[in-house]
Amino acid sequence: SAGPVVRHASINDIIRRALASAGVPAVLVPNGLVRNEGKKPDSMSLLPWKMGRPLVWDATCVDTLAPSHLLSTAACAGAATCAVEKRRKYSNLVGNNCFEPFGVDTLGPWGPGAYTVFKEIARKLIYSTRDQKAVTV
């Protein structure tokens, strides 16, 4: 089904647009960045994110109710999300980039990387708009 592909593209587009609103342009599927097995990360900011390094992220939306995740998700909300955040797969990109996996769950929970990116985008959006109400949770 097209569901996972559509969810994945939508997440990346939302992150990219949120960054643009905060004054941080980003490019989807950046050229020149390749992880260990030859695949590219989903996106990269075009301006420095932290410590002079651009933000690079890989988004994943896991289906909470998939048979392969039911055992862990029945015991702990968000368990599947934490499991799919792919930090190790991008270890070769960390030196020159600020890599964050962005894992979300179809039923709501966010992984730690997704929450970290969201908080930082919110901070930058509030700073760029000078509006404390620019972000509501």
- Let me know if residue 134 belongs to a domain: no
- Let me know if residue 105 belongs to a domain: yes
- Beta-bridge mates of residue 104: 61, 110
- Let me know if residue 95 belongs to a domain: yes
**Single-letter amino acid, residue 123:** R
- Let me know if residue 62 belongs to a domain: yes
- Domains of the chain: total: 1
Strand order of the β-sheet with 53-62 is 26-28, 43-50, 53-62, 98-105
Q: Where are the beta strands (DSSP E) in the chain?
A: 26-28, 43-50, 53-62, 98-105
- Let me know if residue 115 belongs to a domain: yes
Supply φ then ψ for residue 11, to 5 degrees: -60, -50
- Let me know if residue 137 belongs to a domain: no
- Domain of residue 107 covers 3-129
Residue with tokens 């929450």: 115
pTM, full prediction: 0.79
- Let me know if residue 135 belongs to a domain: no
The tens-digit pLDDT sequence of the chain (137 residues) is: 567 778 889 999 999 999 999 999 999 988 888 776 777 888 999 999 999 999 999 888 877 777 665 566 555 655 555 555 566 777 778 788 998 888 888 877 888 889 999 999 999 999 988 888 877 65
